[in-house]
Amino acid sequence: MSRLAIKICGLSTPDTVDAALKAGASHLGFVFFPKSPRHVDFDKAAGLVARVPQHVVGVGVMVDPDDETLSRAVQAGVKTFQLHGHEAPERVAAIRDRFGVDIWKAISVKTRADLEQGRAYVGIADFLLYDAKTPDGAALPGGMGLRFDWTLLRGFAPPLPWGLSGGLDPESVADAVAITGAPLVDVSSGVESAPGIKDVDKIAAFCKAIS
């Protein structure tokens, strides 16, 4: 499929899962992090993941998870982990060895030098997600509508397959893709009417903006 890959993250209801699928999303994200307004428990997530067809990827988003959390995510049907905390390469390698799933590692970006952090995960992670660095002491590591300077990615060759996250919305995503050449875009707060409340019309508009 030549069209841009799209991940709608932080889904928590059947109607928004269905809206993302109808709009053409290639990846759906389910957040397992109690501090997040997008958090879903594992039983609820299992019902949502069950709605996802085989050609669409269900991604479990976690922050410095312990093995029990990871096991529960697998039981819920998630086959890809997005690690969005401070997971060191050694921890990521251990997770991959134990669970045998595809692993995305989020890289927090504020400066050009931050992009280089991804090199430590070559041979360990399958995919890098460049996201905006949140302020020190922030309650959440992502999903806050922050963006970094997208021009930092100009001329940069990511060492792994990659995607762009942070501050994307229906109005900005086309420019973001034009500036960065991102092959995948990941949106959460940019398609919400309130924190944690996805808007089906915004989901449709986001996907249409780059279709």
Percent of the chain with pLDDT over 90: 90
Residues 6+ apart with CB under 8 A from 199: 191, 192, 193
Q: So what's the pLDDT on residue 97?
A: 96
Q: So what's the pLDDT on residue 137?
A: 53
> What does the pLDDT average to over 87-98?
97
Q: So what's the pLDDT on residue 112?
A: 94
For the CA atoms of the chain, what is the radius of gyration?
Answer: 16
Give the tokens for residue 15: 């109607």
Amino acid 209 reads: A
Q: What pTM, to 2 d.p., does this model score?
A: 0.93
Q: Among residues 131, 169, 186, 207, which one is catalytic? A: 131
| List of domains in the chain | 5-209 (3.20.20.70)
The pLDDT confidence band at residue 3, using thresholds 50, 70 and 90, is confident
Task: Say yes or no to pLDDT of 176 above 90.
Answer: yes
The pLDDT confidence band at residue 145, using thresholds 50, 70 and 90, is low
Interval 116-142: pLDDT, tens: 999 999 999 999 999 998 765 555 554
> What does the pLDDT average to over 135-153?
70
Q: So what's the pLDDT on residue 209?
A: 96
Task: Say yes or no to pLDDT of 11 above 50.
Answer: yes
Q: To which residue do tokens 């029990």 refer? A: 68
Residues 6+ apart with CB under 8 A from 31: 9, 10, 12, 38, 39, 40, 61, 62, 143
Q: Distance (Å, rounded) from C-alpha 25 to C-alpha 87?
A: 27
Residues 6+ apart with CB under 8 A from 34: none
207 is an active site residue: no
Q: Among residues 9, 169, 186, 207, which one is catalytic? A: 9
Task: Say yes or no to pLDDT of 2 above 50.
Answer: no
Q: So what's the pLDDT on residue 1?
A: 33
Q: So what's the pLDDT on residue 135?
A: 62
Percent of the chain with pLDDT over 70: 94
Separation in Å, CA 41 to CA 25, 46, 48:
22, 9, 11
Task: Say yes or no to pLDDT of 194 above 50.
Answer: yes
Q: How far is CA 190 from the centre of its chain?
A: 13
**42-49 helix and 67-75 helix, angle to the nearest 10 degrees:** 40
